Chain A
Amino acid sequence: MKCVTCRGPAIIDIRRHNSNFCAEHFLEQCQRQVRKAIDEFEMFTPDDKILVAVSGGKDSLAIWDLLVDLGYNVDGLYIGLGIGEYSDTSLDYARAYAQTRNLHLVEVDVPSTFGFDIPNGSRAAKRVPCSACGLSKRHLFDEEAIKGGYDVLVTGHNLDDEAAVLFGNTLHWHTEYLGRQLPVLPAREGFPKKVKPLVRLAERETAAYCIVKGIDYLVDECPMAAGNKHLSYKSALNEIEAMSPGAKHSFYFGFLDRAAAFFEVEASIDREGLGACASCGAPTTSEICAFCRLVVRAGGQLPDQTGVSAVPVDLGPTRTGSVQ
């Protein structure tokens, strides 16, 4: 296998590009794809103050590293979810990376701040663990980005993540979520601008990026995620990709080019009628936001005691669609 750029020995093949790369030119390829996503979707500029959500896994550490190397001003945000040893280890990786590159890492610990953890809290609240985890992370990402005065929140969602979520939402025709599945969600009252600069890289490439750059990341999967639908969608798409390289890219970018606009109206209806949560002030269509209701149901405590626990709580049916 020879590098498509220099004809030296290649270390990785990327079949959807019909290309092989040596280490040096693979890193250039990753930078090029991230820069292209940032420019094409007008994600941010070098003057912006950026917060990247960091889990200690390959995607978040790769995008933090890529953005710093590209000259952006980026802090990290780690949310501790109390998933036993997994959370402890993931924090170690996030801290180690920040320390190595002398970067600032904001840390929020859910158990010590809100009095519940994801494994026990999701059980008590009768929510799927991944659902309770996603809800908590989205709420705290928004809160910390706004509190810290950041212009934009970056997440490490890659091409495989986006294709799998699109696959799930299409399979069940969750049209309200399809309208929001974009690489950029603009800022609005109570929400920061959110962007996904890794959408042009597959997760095999973000993992390879970390290995080539010598970035230590948490390899093992979250114990709560085993058997979830998102992972089975990814496996199904990888079977298709193996037979038809480029299928995931065509699926996701074809959706953005030709279909996403059809679902805009439904997504905008979903954004109407937002008020402020009586407990935390976050935007919500209810009196109390979904995160605060989760905290109460999970047996935790809201930091700002406003008598929320006395408010009748109705979480409604567990959501089955996927939003990011």
Chain B
Amino acid sequence: MQVKVRLHNPRRDLEIEGPITIINLLARLDLNREAVLVVRDGELVPGDESLSDADSIEIRPVISGGAS
């Protein structure tokens, strides 16, 4: 088993080998920590937490909006 990761815009699913911290996971995916939140079972996961192979998380973008 691997860590299951859901990404948005476009929506897609990945599997990443654990254990891995949130900070390292975001770095591996080349995602800016200012631009996303990590959610597991509806709750926020802090950056220093380590994910195990049994985890399933969503990386939720926070940047939104058009401008006139």
User: Does A267 count as interface, using CB distance less than 8 angstroms?
Assistant: no
User: Does A92 count as interface, using CB distance less than 8 angstroms?
Assistant: no
Query: How near does chain A come to B60, taking the closest CB pair, in angstroms?
Result: 6
A322 near B66: Cβ-Cβ < 8 Å: no
Select B66's contact among A202, A225, A235, beta carbons within 8 Å.
A225
B63 near A203: Cβ-Cβ < 8 Å: yes
Select A165's contact among B39, B64, B67, beta carbons within 8 Å.
B67
Q: Which residues of B contact A319 (CB under 8 A)?
A: 68
Known interface pairs A208-B44, A211-B39, A242-B34. Does A130 touch B66 (Cβ–Cβ under 8 Å)?
yes
Kindly supply a per-residue 1/0 record for chain A positions 1-28, scoring 1 wherever the CB is within 8 Å of any chain B CB and 0 otherwise.
1000000011111000000100100000
A221 near B68: Cβ-Cβ < 8 Å: no
Interface residues of B (CB under 8 A from A): 8-9, 11, 32-37, 39, 42-48, 60-68
User: Does A126 count as interface, using CB distance less than 8 angstroms?
Assistant: no
Q: Can you name 16 extra interface pairs (CB under 8 A) apart from A160-B63, A230-B66, A231-B66?
A: A11-B45, A11-B46, A23-B44, A129-B66, A133-B68, A211-B44, A211-B60, A220-B11, A221-B9, A221-B64, A224-B66, A230-B65, A231-B65, A238-B34, A242-B34, A322-B68
User: Does A104 count as interface, using CB distance less than 8 angstroms?
Assistant: no
Known interface pairs A203-B64, A238-B32. Does A13 touch B47 (Cβ–Cβ under 8 Å)?
yes
Query: How near does chain B come to A121, taking the closest CB pair, in angstroms?
Result: 14
User: Does A58 count as interface, using CB distance less than 8 angstroms?
Assistant: yes
Closest B-chain residue to A164, C-beta based?
A: B67
Closest B-chain residue to A160, C-beta based?
A: B63
A203 near B46: Cβ-Cβ < 8 Å: no
A221 near B46: Cβ-Cβ < 8 Å: no
Interface residues of A (CB under 8 A from B): 1, 9-13, 20, 23, 57-59, 129-131, 133-135, 138, 160-161, 164-165, 168, 202-204, 206-208, 211-212, 214, 219-222, 224-225, 228-231, 234-235, 238-239, 241-242, 319, 322-324
Q: Which residues of A contact B8 (CB under 8 A)?
A: 219-220
B37 near A208: Cβ-Cβ < 8 Å: yes
Q: Which residues of B contact A23 (CB under 8 A)?
A: 44
A324 near B67: Cβ-Cβ < 8 Å: yes
B43 near A239: Cβ-Cβ < 8 Å: no
Known interface pairs A1-B48, A11-B46, A211-B44. Does A204 touch B66 (Cβ–Cβ under 8 Å)?
no
Closest A-chain residue to B36, C-beta based?
A: A204
Among A11, A135, A319, chain B packs the most CB atoms within 10 A around the CB of A11
Query: How near does chain A come to B57, taking the closest CB pair, in angstroms?
Result: 13
B64 near A242: Cβ-Cβ < 8 Å: no
B42 near A221: Cβ-Cβ < 8 Å: no
B35 near A204: Cβ-Cβ < 8 Å: yes
Q: List 16 A-B contacts (CB under 8 A).
A: A10-B46, A11-B43, A11-B44, A12-B46, A57-B64, A130-B67, A133-B68, A138-B68, A203-B62, A207-B60, A208-B44, A211-B44, A225-B65, A225-B66, A228-B66, A322-B68
